[in-house]
Chain A
């Protein structure tokens, strides 16, 4: 059968679009090199499409990202933390990643947090595709892109016309419902509206051995894992304009006794709300000129509530302490692109952001009265200019140069270049040599937070206005080889020296506890990926990441840094594509923890059956952590635990009805 299939008359009709785009129409023989449009990009990119999301039953951005080669995720039952290429300090708030929705920055302006869990303000069902760009991109995107960029592209009216209702039921008392309506008016205006509500009771009882004593309910946190969110999304397209409005608010119970709060008290919770309006203008003049403009206004009201027992300090035994923002900002960006002589594409642009409100307050509620324990109000501005030139040096050689200068009101100026060389020596081989410099500006919290109360001063790190940005200079070599059409083999090797990482440190002389530029880390590693996309609809991918993170002399080794990741996924069409059976597995080698233990290696497979064969309907059934593997993630410094156990076997049923 094998011999037969290779000898049978070849048929172009068996090829998918991506393969057809590689066929050289003047050549007589076979398909040319595997060159996706992605492979033209001057970066190491992975794209995840809406199809993959539904076929695999991914329910958060974190679920999707943990299947991207080189990425891993840990969860402290409040936030999801993204690690990449062996770098994922527990309890950092993903501030080294830039998270974009349709080009709009989602990271807030106080913690620079990238929200990738249930706190991501846009519904997963609205995602058309996600572009994950590894490595720094400070030369085109503003700050926070020290380690990578995650750009979420939402669906448009053409993807979701009419009215669609989706409902979900899942383990731990979870349900979700969503209503989406898309319409194109006669005058050309396109409108997409969507609203959703999610409510999860969470695990009834979570056991944390650290609290196993009679005073703390033998380590059992009851009904403290709740999770609830509401989303609203509106997108209007008219001519060259696009207006998007996003609102997402999530409340999550914090069952871990984080920050030394009272354990097994359902009052501990965090609320994160992201809202923004974004107006874009995008137009091409002739085939040579392009112009892009964007203005936006953003808000990030957050409210973290923790219950403290202050009786030993003469205070109440159940003091409610609220930490709150908000952060608010507006910004604008403009860019021009021009094709020169058909050989170069030049882009120049400028960007300005005004963080007019960066409030960090803390209040201790004492029954009738309340006592402020922190009241920081600050503001800042960022201005940047950039240029990028893509030069076609030769038929099979492209050079991409980028340069960006940013002026921060907080620390001053920084210049970051980027260069990429893309070479296609053979039809089926693409080489990319990538170099980039990038930075992460210290966030408002690291710079300015300061409590007025001695108790909290001693417990919380103090801001340090003299912080410098973290920097990285990254070099990466990517080789893409088309083994036969349908198969793509990618190998990449990288070296990321990261300097001046910011972390909270105790001064050995003064005993003061504050943020410092202290740590240096060198990331080295390699990723090997094999992908298959068959004409039959079968999709498979497998990747192996070997990663090594070394800290500087005399510095403690990096925690939550696995040496090996194995990620595999497979989606098989059954019954003439009426049903898709999909599985993905995520294997992470053991990771050291802050207290010097190890979170053991794990391999967690998920299974999903998906069908849209029945007219109007879309149905999927998912089983996550199918073999009920017990595994835990390293905890952050705010958690009294060292390892936080993750969910066991759980399921989800999802259905959609399109009217």
Chain B
């Protein structure tokens, strides 16, 4: 019975027309539009020409972004000012000027530290491990030790996520994309934001 019934033909009392309530709407809409315009016009962080950005400059920016969309359990850090460590398995490509681009930036109050992962070191001390393509042989060992921990593993070689890495940076033509292995992520204590997942290609093992 949710379909149109025939309208009753009873005469209506008086003509109702419109309530006149919307008379000021144009003024209000205009005002709001102006407010939005002003706010949208705040200066963008434009990239000026002449920036010689290499592949790893972009990759470090990805890592920095990943860190913002991942929530580490509070007990991961010894104290509130302790650094968030990005450890590189293999040669550290982020040295010098590239690393400088992170200076002064923090994640949840933690300064960011980029360093090479020492082979003897306990990988749990790192909040993030970046596995270089050259280190894929060592990947299974690193990945096994990060299960159940709160270490975000990020790779850059084909098949890294399928083999249990959490995030893998891939190249599509000359742009970077990333894959997320949600099963691997679920085996850690990390919480990954849906915003990150929305942009990722989801892969399974």
Residue B17, interface by CB 8 Å: yes
Instruction: Please state if A597 and B49 are interface contacts (CB–CB under 8 Å).
Output: no
Per-position contact with A for B39-60: 1 when CB-CB < 8 Å, else 0? Answer: 1101111111111111101101
Asked if B175 and A25 make an inter-chain contact with CB atoms under 8 angstroms apart, the answer reads yes
Q: How large is the interface on B (under 10, 10 to 19, 20 to 34, 35 or more residues)?
A: 35 or more
Question: Which one, B6, B7, B16, B35, contacts A643 given CB within 8 A?
Answer: B16
Segment at the A interface, from B125-133, B138-146, B179-187 = B179-187
CA distance A5 to B46 in the complex (A): 8
**Cβ–Cβ < 8 Å partners of A506 in chain B:** 6
CA distance A284 to B203 in the complex (A): 9
Give CA–CA (A10, B47) in the complex, Å: 5
A5-B45, A487-B44, A630-B19 given; A12·B58 CB < 8 A: yes
Does A587 touch B at the CB level, under 8 Å?
yes
A267 on the interface (CB 8 Å rule)?
no
Choose one: A5, A111, A306, A631; the contact of B43 (CB below 8 Å): A5
Partner of A631, one of B3, B21, B182: B21
Tell me, rounded to whole Å, the shortest Cβ–Cβ distance linking A220 to chain B. 16
A10 near B46: Cβ-Cβ < 8 Å: yes
Q: Which of A8, A585, A590 has the most CB of B within 10 A?
A: A585
Give the contact stretch, choosing among B81-89, B116-124, B192-200: B192-200
B204 close to A240 (CB less than 8 A): yes
Instruction: Tell whether A91 pairs with B17 under 8 Å between CB atoms, given A13-B64, A47-B198.
Output: no
Complex alpha-carbon distance, A638 and B4, angstroms: 5
A473 to B181, CA, bound (A): 40
11 contacts between A and B (CB under 8 A): A5-B45, A12-B57, A188-B183, A190-B186, A210-B16, A459-B5, A487-B40, A506-B6, A601-B25, A631-B22, A643-B16
In B79-110, the 8 Å CB interface with A consists of 101-102, 105
Does A572 sit at the interface, judged by CB under 8 A? yes
Task: Give B2 Cβ to nearest chain A Cβ, in Å.
Answer: 6
Kindly identify, within residues 141 to 160 of chain A, every residue whose CB is under 8 Å from any CB belonging to chain B. Answer: 155-159
Interface size class of A (residues with CB under 8 A): 35 or more
Instruction: Flag whether A348 is at the interface (Cβ < 8 A).
Output: no
Are A638 and B40 touching (Cβ within 8 A)?
no
Q: Are the C-beta atoms of B174 and A26 separated by less than 8 Å? A: yes
Chain B residues positioned under 8 Å from A598 (CB to CB): 17-18
Contacts A590-B22, A643-B16; A540 near B36 (Cβ below 8 A) = yes
B50 smallest CB distance to A (angstroms): 7
Interface residue A93 (Cβ < 8 Å from any Cβ of B): yes
Q: Is A555 an interface residue (CB 8 A)?
A: no
Give the distance in Å from the alpha carbon of A542 to the alpha carbon of B38 in the complex: 12
Among residues 453 to 490 in chain A, which have CB atoms less than 8 Å away from a CB atom of chain B?
458-461, 484-487
A51 CB within 8 Å of chain B:
yes
Residue numbers in A under 8 Å from B40 (CB-CB): 487, 530, 532, 540, 542
Residues of B near A532 (CB, < 8 A) are: 40
Q: Which residue, B5, B23, B42, B171, has most C-beta atoms of chain A within 10 A?
A: B5
Q: Least Cβ distance of B171 to chain A in Å?
A: 8
Contact between A158 and B182 (Cβ–Cβ < 8 Å)? yes
The winner among B1, B15, B46, B194 for most chain A CB atoms within 10 A is B1
For residue A444, give the distance in angstroms from its CB to the closest CB of chain B: 12
Q: With a CB–CB cut-off of 8 A, which chain A residues contact B54?
A: 25
Residue B20 at the A interface, CB < 8 A? Answer: yes
Q: Is the CB of B191 closer than 8 A to any CB of chain A?
A: yes
Interfacial chain B residues near A575, Cβ < 8 Å: none
Task: Give A18-29 as 1s and 0s: 1 = Cβ < 8 Å from B's Cβ atoms.
Answer: 101111111111
Q: A26-B174, A570-B39 are in contact. Are A643 and B18 (CB under 8 A)?
A: yes
Question: Which residues 527-577 in A have Cβ within 8 Å of B in the complex?
Answer: 530, 532, 534-535, 538, 540, 542, 566, 568, 570, 572
* Cα-based distance from A51 to B193 in the complex (angstroms): 9
Q: Does A508 contact B (CB under 8 A)?
A: no
The residues of A that contact B21 with a CB separation of less than 8 Å are: 600, 602, 629-631
A461 to B29, alpha carbons, bound, how many Å? 41
Across the interface, which residues of B come within 8 angstroms of A275, CB to CB? none
- Any B CB within 8 A of the CB of A642: yes
Q: Which of A12, A50, A395 contacts B101 (CB 8 A)?
A: A12
Q: Is the CB of B46 within 8 A of A212?
A: no
Which residues does chain A contribute within 8 Å of B204, judged by CB atoms? 240, 284
Q: B residues within 8 A CB of A637?
A: 4-5, 7
Q: How far is the CA of A638 from the CA of B29 in the complex (A)?
A: 32
Residues B101 and A600 in contact, CB atoms below 8 Å apart: no
Determine the distance from Cα of A461 to Cα of B5 in the docked complex, in whole angstroms: 7
Q: CA of A276 to CA of B13 in the docked complex: distance in angstroms?
A: 47
Query: What CA separation (Å) do A395 and B44 show in the bound complex?
Result: 30
Min CB gap B63→A, angstroms: 10
Chain A nearest CB, measured from B145 CB (Å) = 18
CB-based nearest A residue for B32: A585
Closest to A184 in B: B186
How far is A535 from B65 in the complex, measured between Cα atoms in Å?
Answer: 10
Q: Which residue of A lies closest to B18 (CB)?
A: A600
Given A598-B17, A630-B21: A461 and B4 interface contact (C-beta under 8 Å): yes
Assess whether A572 is in contact with B39, with CB atoms less than 8 Å apart: yes
Interface string of A25-41 (1 = CB under 8 A from B): 11111111000010000
Q: Whole-angstrom distance between the alpha carbons of A590 and B65 in the complex? A: 44
CB pair A20 B62 closer than 8 Å: yes
Chain B residue with the shortest CB-CB distance to A36: B199
Give the residues in chain B near A28, CB-CB below 8 Å.
51-53
A6 at the interface (CB under 8 A from B): yes
Complex CA distance for A21 and B201, rounded to whole angstroms: 12
